Structure 1
Amino acid sequence: MIHQGRLKEDSLMVMKIVGDAICANENQLRRYLSKRQSASKTSSTLKSLRKYGFVERHKSHLAFEEDDEISYKPPAPFTLGIGGYKLMNHLYPEHSFTQPEQWSKNSLAIQRYVAMNEMRCLSVEAGVLRGWSWNPYIGGSAKYRSPLAVAKLESPQGEIQLLMERPQMAQNFIGYYRTKLEVYRYLYERDKYFKIDGFSKANLQIVCLYVSSSSMAKFIQEEIRLHTFPFDIWLLSNEWISEEKGMSEAFCTVNQDGLKRIRIPFLAPKQM
């Protein structure tokens, strides 16, 4: 990994991917890098980077909202370590990387970012991701609560911007969604669209709530009445995501009658 006191290019590449992802598991990192190197190469590089403190690997558990079941599931997520954080900030001063200390202060956020990286990874595998930003300013000011992420997707109908939201474990998710959606209502009614830092105006902007299951999506609709908001809202259910079809059948829209599951063929994985 280190040659004459210098990190090799592949190690720097893996470190940058970890930094851009904020927090991603090994499977996701392998998939992000699949066009550049083998899965075994990515794993061996991560192992070496971890040895020297450039990345950290976290033990994690998943809690399911429906029954409070807790289970431990590998692979454990990776984040930048202290060495990697300092090096990435030095090499890419224009980027904002997450400080390693954040995870000890808020370890519950780890699975939130792993879940979001799954959506991001699936978009890459579908060949439609054209832009991604974590926590961009919205409404032209930092005073408004930012989306967790914004994805720019290429579709047959043109550009789609998805304002992604997902609460963290043990959070009051109904309160979280209701608060964020009211901020969005105010901004949308004021500007007639969402002003997102780093993104041009798009004809189709959709607020997307990423949930664990269809039953959770139904519960959120019953509690918040998503169809009463003046902008489009979709729900993405992790339960409906599959290896074969990706996210192409994992979304649903909302109306006064409830949820309607939809099919989006361009989100199916591309044949490699």
Structure 2
Amino acid sequence: METLAQDLVPFDENLEANYYTTKKGELPLWDHPFLKGSKVLPKKYYPITNLERAVEHLSRGLIDENDFMILKVLGDAICANENQLRRYLEPKLSHSQTSTRLDRMRRYGFVDRWKVRIRGQEETVKPPAPYSLGMAGFKLLKHYYNSEFFMDANRWDALGIGGIKRYVSVNELRCTMIEMRILKQWKWNPVIANHHKNHRPLGVGLVETPQGNVNFIMDRVQSTQDFIGYFKDRLYNWKKIYERYGELPISEFPDHPSYVILFASTLSVANQLHKELMLDTYPFPIWVCVEEDLLESGFNTSFYIPTSEKLKRIQIDF
């Protein structure tokens, strides 16, 4: 796995609030309180805004099969940074080929590129740019894969940087599992217990392990939001479902043992979550995956299980 040094930012002691830093005293990029971002349009911009012209571009070969593959991978990821897209596509395209094609498709609105910076550190911290589907890309994919979900480009105006960082951060974990060839199925925001009023996790993955297949019910811990209230409501809802069914049924997923995976940027925010919500008291298994450990030492040693005293780091064998 390619570790990104840009994902960790030195902690500024002049910050007034008490933030959840890493073990090294750094603030993770995708959970930074001063993170800002905006869509950046190319200098030569000729956006396609209707389905007919998007399909015409494909039928005339102005975008080819590899371009369409990039669009599908990006659509399935919802929002991923350039490094992640390169890794997703590495078996088929070189890194430079992926970047060149993304840049060309920007001109016609098939993809949108975002500029993400930390306020006050614009010239020193320059992470890989996130990408999302543009107007033309959304229309084209929705035409050919009508039953599947793709994020409408217009929705990013409301989701903003909060949505960008949630999807980019979870795509790091998703991308890692795909590189390890253990992720066999994935769905964003699936329905739990066949009822749309139940709280949905950010994503669910079917993961292959030496002991058999399991379902990872995953959500992101954002320290810059009310993460205690967010997970208090979710876990209470899932507890009631578990008490009724004896499991957490997930629409469109096989009936495998399920683990709730809380993906936290730092161990400090994970410890606070456990302290407030006593994660060991829920009837279903909860694991915490810590992003700083994922980037530092890899997937297998990035997990913790809650005990009555603390979060205990474990090593898993995949």
Same fold (TM over 0.5): yes
Distance 1:169 1:37 in 2: 36
| 1:211 counterpart (264, 267, 288) | 264
Q: How many residues align?
A: 259
Distance 2:245 2:304 in 1: 26
3-state SS in 2 of match to 1:58: strand
| 2:184 counterpart (124, 130, 135) | 130
Q: Which residue of structure 1 aligns with residue 298 of structure 2?
A: 246
- CA change 1:102–1:3 in 2 (3 A) is closer
Q: Which residue of structure 2 aligns with residue 23 of structure 1?
A: 79
Q: Which residue of structure 2 aligns with residue 119 of structure 1?
A: 173
What whole-Å deviation, never above 9, does each CA across 1:106-137 have from its counterpart, x for those lacking one?
Answer: 21111000011001000011110011000000
Distance 1:237 1:39 in 2: 27
The letter for the 1-side match of 2:89 is L
- CA change 1:61–1:160 in 2 (3 A) is farther
- CA change 1:62–1:220 in 2 (3 A) is farther
Confirm or deny: 8 A CA contact 2:221 2:265 kept in the other structure.
Answer: no
The letter for the 2-side match of 1:262 is I
The letter for the 2-side match of 1:105 is A
Task: Tell me the CA shift for residue 170 of structure 1.
Answer: 3.6
- What are the within-5 Å matches in structure 2 for residues 1-272 of structure 1? 4=60, 6-61=62-117, 72-107=125-160, 108-168=162-222, 170-202=224-256, 204-242=257-295, 245-266=297-318
Q: Which residue of structure 1 aligns with residue 7 of structure 2?
A: none
Distance 1:249 1:142 in 2: 35
Confirm or deny: 8 A CA contact 1:58 1:78 kept in the other structure.
Answer: yes
- Aligned-pair identity in percent equals 40
Q: Which residue of structure 1 aligns with residue 19 of structure 2?
A: none
The letter for the 2-side match of 1:26 is E
What whole-Å deviation, never above 9, does each CA across 1:207-242 have from its counterpart, x for those lacking one?
Answer: 011001111111111011001111100001011013
Task: Tell me the CA shift for residue 61 of structure 1.
Answer: 4.0
Confirm or deny: 8 A CA contact 2:210 2:317 kept in the other structure.
Answer: no
Distance 2:58 2:97 in 1: 15
Task: Tell me the CA shift for residue 145 of structure 1.
Answer: 1.4
Q: Which residue of structure 2 aligns with residue 269 of structure 1?
A: none
What whole-Å deviation, never above 9, does each CA across 1:18-71 have from its counterpart, x for those lacking one?
Answer: 1000000000000001111111111101101111110001122469xxxxx998
- CA change 1:230–1:3 in 2 (3 A) is closer
Confirm or deny: 8 A CA contact 1:153 1:159 kept in the other structure.
Answer: yes
- CA change 1:146–1:178 in 2 (3 A) is same
Larger RCO (alpha carbons 8 Å, 6+ apart): 2
Distance 1:61 1:138 in 2: 36
* Structure 1 unaligned residues grouped into runs of 5+: 64-68, 267-272
3-state SS in 1 of match to 2:230: helix
Distance 1:151 1:253 in 2: 19
3-state SS in 1 of match to 2:115: coil
* Structure 2 unaligned residues grouped into runs of 5+: 1-56
3-state SS in 1 of match to 2:147: coil
- CA change 1:260–1:169 in 2 (3 A) is closer
Q: Which residue of structure 1 aligns with residue 3 of structure 2?
A: none
The letter for the 2-side match of 1:264 is I
Distance 1:187 1:61 in 2: 40
Task: Tell me the CA shift for residue 76 of structure 1.
Answer: 1.5
Distance 2:290 2:107 in 1: 36
